[in-house]
Structure 1
Amino acid sequence: MSGSASGHYPAGDLRDQLAHAGRAVVQAGLVMGSGGNLSARVPGADECWVTAAGTWLDRLDRGSFVRIRIRDGAALDNSVGVAPSSELGLHLALYRARPDAGAVIHLHPQAVLLLDALAEPIRLATTDHAFYVRQVATTPFVPPGRPEVGQLAAAACADGVNCVVLSRHGCSVIADSVELAHKRAVNLEEAARLTYSALALGRPLPVLPTDWLQGPGATA
């Protein structure tokens, strides 16, 4: 997969980009092995590639993905007969709610989930956090795999929120590209880690002013 050695995202096939992201999030400790799933929308088509059920995110290749029609969830050209992730409904609900979404990264990051369990909001501590994350929504707990997981996440993101915490489950991050979704996921977990560190020191982080994000050129 060209480009991965230099740190740049691979050009071309979306599955190569998703595999690159999968290795990176595992190496960064954002997820343990198979604790998450990834997808990317095929540009100009009612289709997306989504990780197959049970895949390890740091061991993905082009055969680790299933091509799915977004409008009805039908598998397309699945000659190898692999099943899509059990969280397929989550990905499809987000794509249907957000036509601008080109990628969905769903992970189970420890700091994000620890703060959720403690009922503590994630504070955006740096300008990078504010630029990439901007706002974090939280949905009530629903057992993984149920249709309500996707329905609640889609409702939370419908007005432009790109990062949603699924209570006691994980987070879902959306963007117009795999690379941007990856950056948002990294910054969300870093913000959660810094929030927890501040709480452990007895010094809750103050709210970061974000008015500057509304200025010219402030898009992520």
Structure 2
Amino acid sequence: MNYSDGDPRDQLTHVGSEVVRAGLVVGSGGNLSARGPGTEDFWVTAAGAWLDRLERSAFVRVRTADAKIAADASHPPTSELPLHLAIYRRRPDVAAIVHLHPQAVLLLDALREPIRLVTTDHAFYLRRIVTTPFRLPGTAELADEAAAATADGTNCVILSHHGCSVLADSVELAHKRALYLEEAARLTYQALVLGRADALPACPPEFLRAVETGTQTTA
């Protein structure tokens, strides 16, 4: 899949298929969106869409400024539309949002166990993870909490007992961040099973400092 060209819907269709194949999603447990190039409109998955069965007709075009849904929409948008709207309005640099319900991430959240950023990939792509309190799915309260959590540039938000939202300036980068977030969660879980979570070291601090200062440009 070439993420650099093509319709955002095709890129998101690829992401949907891949995250299901990778075990990050069961059924329709998530929703995806991306801004169209050169426009404030964005495409978002329709309500109840199975992420591994997406096609262009499974997306709804929405205007960011006033939440107006395109007249030619054949399906209602996901019930999490307020979440996508709030983040796009708060973060003009964000071009894609991947909202999923990955099992390892949610298990650790339920156990109140922080996800450890162990590898250079985790540190480079995720930087930091913020968890928001539980709010009812699909509500303005949940959307406002998530958007506020991203205001400082955070790109990985866990919505307690619900899911996670990862953001990026491209569909490809949002996809990568979703994969690395679940990988970090799985490694943390394995350390818990081994009884060694407290001894699990974070990524070396010199790498973290280099990432924060911008002198480290690759993982």
For the criterion TM > 0.5, the same-fold answer is yes
Runs of 4+, deviation exceeding 3 Å: none
The aligned amino acid for 1:207 is A
Q: TM-score scaled to structure 1, two decimals?
A: 0.93
The aligned amino acid for 1:198 is A
Select the residue among 7, 11, 14 that pairs with 1:20. 14
Select the residue among 107, 115, 120 that pairs with 1:122. 115
The aligned amino acid for 1:218 is T
Between structures 1 and 2, the one with greater helix share: 2
- Contact 2:119–2:202 under 8 Å retained in 1: no
Q: Which stretch shifts more, 196-205 or 92-101?
A: 196-205
Aligned positions of 1:13-52 closer than 5 A:
13-52=7-46
The percentage of aligned residue pairs carrying the same residue is 65
Q: How many residues align?
A: 213
Q: Which deviations, in whole Å up to 9, do the C-alpha atoms of 1:27-79 show, x marking residues without a partner?
A: 00001120000000112212100000010000000000000001111101325
Aligned positions of 1:57-76 closer than 5 A:
57-76=51-70
The aligned amino acid for 1:118 is L
Structure 1 match to 2:91: 98
Aligned positions of 1:161-200 closer than 5 A:
161-200=154-193
- Contact 1:90–1:149 under 8 Å retained in 2: yes
Distance, in Å, in 2 between the alignment partners of 1:10 and 1:28 is 22
Distance, in Å, in 1 between the alignment partners of 2:144 and 2:110 is 21
Distance, in Å, in 1 between the alignment partners of 2:131 and 2:191 is 21
Instruction: Mark the runs of 5 or more structure 1 residues left unpaired by the alignment.
Output: none
| Root mean square deviation, CA, Å | 1.4
The aligned amino acid for 2:170 is S
Q: TM-score scaled to structure 2, two decimals?
A: 0.93
The aligned amino acid for 2:58 is S
Instruction: Mark the runs of 5 or more structure 2 residues left unpaired by the alignment.
Output: none
Distance, in Å, in 2 between the alignment partners of 1:172 and 1:79 is 24
Change (3 A) 1:219 1:137: farther
- Contact 2:61–2:73 under 8 Å retained in 1: no
Alignment partner of 2:108: what SS? Answer: helix
Alignment partner of 2:17: what SS? Answer: helix
Select the residue among 102, 114, 131 that pairs with 1:109. 102
Q: Which deviations, in whole Å up to 9, do the C-alpha atoms of 1:181-218 show, x marking residues without a partner?
A: 00000000000000011011111122222112124253
Alignment partner of 1:59: what SS? Answer: coil
- Contact 2:45–2:59 under 8 Å retained in 1: yes
